[in-house]
């Protein structure tokens, strides 16, 4: 049984990754590219005589039937594109996390179980689910 534990942080470059450097003022910002399809558009703006690079995650298309968009597309694209899906995804974070809602939608549309570990949930939220927590529960998320 394959179980995926999803963590939201930047992975280091691997042999399959390609790093690009964008310069802004006097600093260099490495951008890791896994595939050209997952790249957010970058717009260059001139502000007070300096070039500013703006990463436009808001322009990314949604992930299929999930309606997951923005930076969550970039974060979870690999999970959606896996040819051999795990039976369960386990993640952790706050009880109103946007990532929790995105993972719940992805797992629901792909037939995967989703277990979300969160600090103690307020009694009022348990008794009257609302917001992202309610939406994730409706999509089959199990909270622990």
Residue 119: Cβ within 10 Å count: 9
Q: What is the pLDDT of residue 23?
A: 31
Rounded Cα gap, residues 53 and 23, in angstroms: 8
CB 68 within 8 A of CB 76: yes
- Alpha helices (H) along the chain: 71-81, 98-110, 123-127, 131-138
Domains for the chain: give ranges and CATH numbers: 3-8+60-143 (3.40.50.1100)
**Closest by Cα among 62, 87, 56 to 76:** 62
pLDDT digit string (tens) for 82-113? 888 889 999 999 999 999 999 999 999 989 99
Q: What is the pLDDT of residue 16?
A: 38
| Residue 19 scores a pLDDT above 70 | no
| Residue 56 scores a pLDDT above 60 | yes
- Token pair, residue 139, equals 């999509």
**Closest by Cα among 114, 109, 122 to 143:** 114
Three-class DSSP category at 128: coil
Work out the burial of residue 99: count CB atoms within 10 Å of its CB; fewer than 13 is exposed, 13-18 middle, 19 or more buried.
buried
Look at the pTM and tell me if it is higher than 0.85. Answer: no
Q: What is the pLDDT of residue 17?
A: 36
Three-class DSSP category at 7: coil
Q: What is the pLDDT of residue 39?
A: 64
| Residue 60 scores a pLDDT above 50 | yes
The most confident of the ranges 19-28, 54-63, 123-132 is 123-132
Q: Helix 71-81 and helix 98-110: axis angle, to 10°?
A: 30
């Amino acid at each position: 049984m394959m179980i995926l534990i999803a963590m939201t942080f930047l992975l280091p470059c691997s042999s399959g990754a390609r790093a690009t450097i964008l310069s802004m003022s006097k600093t260099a910002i490495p951008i890791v590219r896994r595939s050209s399809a997952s790249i957010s558009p970058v717009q260059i703006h001139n502000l007070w005589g300096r070039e500013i690079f703006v990463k436009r995650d808001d322009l990314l298309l949604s992930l299929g039937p999930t309606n997951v968009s923005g930076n969550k597309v970039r974060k979870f694209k690999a999970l959606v594109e896996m040819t051999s899906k795990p039976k369960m995804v386990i993640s952790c974070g706050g009880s109103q996390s946007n990532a929790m809602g995105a993972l719940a939608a992805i797992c629901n549309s792909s037939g995967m179980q989703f277990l979300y570990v969160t600090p103690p949930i307020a009694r009022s939220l348990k008794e009257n689910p609302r917001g992202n927590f309610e939406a994730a529960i409706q999509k089959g998320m199990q909270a622990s």
